[in-house]
Amino acid sequence: MTSPIRTERHDEVLVIISNNPPVNALGAAVRQGLEAGVKEGLADASIKAMVIRCDGRTFFAGADITEFGKPMQEPGLPTLVDMIEASDKPIVAAIHGTALGGGCEVTLACHYRIAVPSAKIGTPEVKLGLLPGAGGTQRIPRIAGVPLALEMTAKGDPISAKRALDAGLIDKLAGEDNLEADAIAFAREVADTTPLPRASQKTATPDPDAVAAFKKENAKRFRGFEAPAANIACVEKASDGSTYAEGVAFERQEFMKLIMGVQSAAQRHIFFAERQAAKIDGVPADVALRPIKRVGVIGAGTMGGGISMNFLSAGIPVTIVEMAQEALDRGTGTIRKNYEASAAKGRMKPEQVEAAMGALNPTLDFEALKDCDLIIEAVYENMDVKKEIFGKLDAIAKPGAILASNTSYLNIDEIAASTSRPDDVLGMHFFSPANVMKLLEVVRGAKTAPDVLATVMALAKTIKKVAVVAGVCHGFIGNRMLMPRQVEANKLLMEGATPEQIDRVHVEFGMPMGPFQMSDLAGVDIGWHRDPTRIENIRDALAAEGRWGQKTGKGFYDYDEKRNPTPSPRVAEIIKEFRSKSNLAKREISDEEIIEKTLYTMVNEGALILEEKMAQRASDIDVVWIYGYGWPVYRGGPMFWADTEGLKKVVAGLEKHGFKVAPLLKEKAESGGRFN
């Protein structure tokens, strides 16, 4: 096999070059080639300095994570970076694109670093439940100090070349298009430097105040995660007077704990699951896509406006249609307000706001949709209304235009049947707020054409969404699994649990909020029949009294002016009244029972979804729940979590409470199988 590493001589400078597309991942062949390149430079008396650089779009963007869980081929990354640092000839890292993870650790081991202004450098291992395992947690604080080391390792966001230069992580900026020549010139400049600057020989100053402030500031972000705490502990170790060797031994110990743990396995599972979700069963990878040059959106409400923003931000013009001028003005006003809020936070430039708004065509004329390549209907959940709209679209839309509904529950095949072109119809279920939430459920109808499905899945990437293919069933994947959770949570209220107990169990599990907090945030009145005299359940009773959630200051909880919740005596009374009407005795409900009834039932529903082929794979269900509903990523999604709980335990929990167990779940439990 040809090595992905080659060397080129420039007089007394040896340039070691990696060409391992797409991102120069530090796989075994790359590590072996780098080792050979450095040895070549050391063995040649006429070479005075070396430069490490990469071909293609980026410097080393990280380890090859397909090697995780397999025996490491030598040299391992820690051995390689120590060898680079130990060189008695200066080695310069020449950085473009991103130097991430192992790539960042290679640069830290080099004696000098030069980067183009657009480069970024970072250690995102924490996002896979890990830490930089080749001395990164020890070298960064020694070069750049404790505060920046905490931010880079425990949060994992990359920093710009300019910031890295100011912090001393980079020594020099190169010309944007002149990296190699500038790096070689820099290598010549430092060729005779003695002693060489080595990160491991520097000392990090302890900064307990910075550590305490960092922990406090990020407490909410880090809640439930193990890896941030391990990264923080390693950075503290680098600055507590320990030798570099002691720090690296501590880092190795923490790394091994994490890589053998469930959380990192869960986070790596989601990393791969997200990529897998983009693959469509039964559709050739090379199917020709339909061009999407203009998008139409019907409805300028919260969903329609948010959906439009996704396309406008990606530079795709949008025609948005409403029935009344007031609704249209309100919708476009909200879009502008959202963009201006982003600009005020520095996330957009004012000219980008104007460009996005300039690409929006707000109109009351339905006929204006005739030029659109994709039209998304985003009106309220009413089948008759949707069928009427699609009937009209059928007459107006140009041949080959894709027609999509943003329905969360309704039958796409029934909607498609109201047109003469059901092969052009599918569901595009965005999650609210649509301009923020990353998930997109793409609903494949019985007659949806393969190129229509492939086009929308590819388009999802363009608008920065994580798309999952779903089949046609009530609620698709996410909402269908949400239903048993909500039903069982309400039954538990009737039997003696309180909204705050059920919500606390879900938050302690890692959810951003529990079922009743979610109901109050979304609006208790959503989907309510609007008849205050018709009270059939607890929710009807709350809605009839105007307890519509946070927006009215009271729902399942009472809220103060800052929307802080407190348990509501009135809600306790309403629950008690319903309990006595149903002749149910109040009993003690354990936290374990809440988990079994609200979360095991979701897994059971997920198994039915897989059996019915409404999801392509178990990992797709996990992606839906991570990106659409805030399932904790360190638990890897409901199906991965069920595997880690043990499917026998899940089945036993369901059977104990009299639930009918999905055949697929039962079969896997009995055979010792797993979903993932």
Strands 318-321 and 159-160: unpaired
Question: From the centroid of its chain, how far is CA 67?
Answer: 22
Name the nearest CA neighbour of 201 among 125, 108, 63: 108
Check residue 554 and report its DSSP letter: B
For residues 634 and 266, give the distance between their C-alpha atoms in angstroms, rounded to a whole number.
6
For residues 164 and 544, give the distance between their C-alpha atoms in angstroms, rounded to a whole number.
58
| Contact between residue 84 and residue 110 where contact means Cβ atoms under 8 Å apart | yes
Q: What is each CA distance from 57 to 19, 97, 100, 135, 590, in whole angstroms?
A: 10, 6, 13, 26, 55
Side chain identity at residue 425, one-letter code: V
209-217 contacts at long range (C-beta below 8 A, 24 or more positions apart): 210/146, 210/147, 210/150, 211/146, 211/150, 211/235, 211/236, 214/147, 214/150, 214/151, 214/154
Strands 360-363 and 425-430: unpaired
Can you tell me whether residue 646 is helix, strand or coil?
Answer: coil
Dihedral (CA of 515, 436, 529, 391) sign: negative
Name the nearest CA neighbour of 308 among 462, 441, 434: 434
* 442 strand-pairing partners: 428, 469
What six digits make up the tokens of 333? 């006003």
Confirm whether 593 is a catalytic residue.
no
Q: Tell how many helices (H) and how many strands (E) occur in the chain.
A: 29, 19
For residues 89 and 187, give the distance between their C-alpha atoms in angstroms, rounded to a whole number.
10
Q: What is each CA distance from 209 to 144, 180, 214, 282, 500, in whole angstroms?
A: 17, 41, 8, 57, 35
Side chain identity at residue 663, one-letter code: P
Longest dimension (CA), the chain: 93
- Annotated catalytic residue, options 8, 67, 125, 326: 125
Q: What is each CA distance from 4 to 55, 110, 111, 395, 422, in whole angstroms?
A: 10, 20, 23, 56, 49
For residues 123 and 131, give the distance between their C-alpha atoms in angstroms, rounded to a whole number.
8
| Contact between residue 91 and residue 122 where contact means Cβ atoms under 8 Å apart | no
Which residues does 600 contact at the CB level (< 8 Å), separation at least 6?
A: 642, 650, 653, 654, 659
- Annotated catalytic residue, options 85, 105, 254, 605: 105
Count of CA atoms in the C-beta half-sphere (13 A) of 338? 21
Can you tell me whether residue 191 is helix, strand or coil?
Answer: coil
For residues 104 and 52, give the distance between their C-alpha atoms in angstroms, rounded to a whole number.
12
| Contact between residue 427 and residue 442 where contact means Cβ atoms under 8 Å apart | yes
| Contact between residue 451 and residue 288 where contact means Cβ atoms under 8 Å apart | yes
Name the nearest CA neighbour of 381 among 342, 349, 412: 412
For residues 159 and 113, give the distance between their C-alpha atoms in angstroms, rounded to a whole number.
15
Confirm whether 367 is a catalytic residue.
no
Q: What is each CA distance from 345 to 161, 338, 656, in whole angstroms?
A: 21, 11, 52
Residues tagged active-site: 105, 125
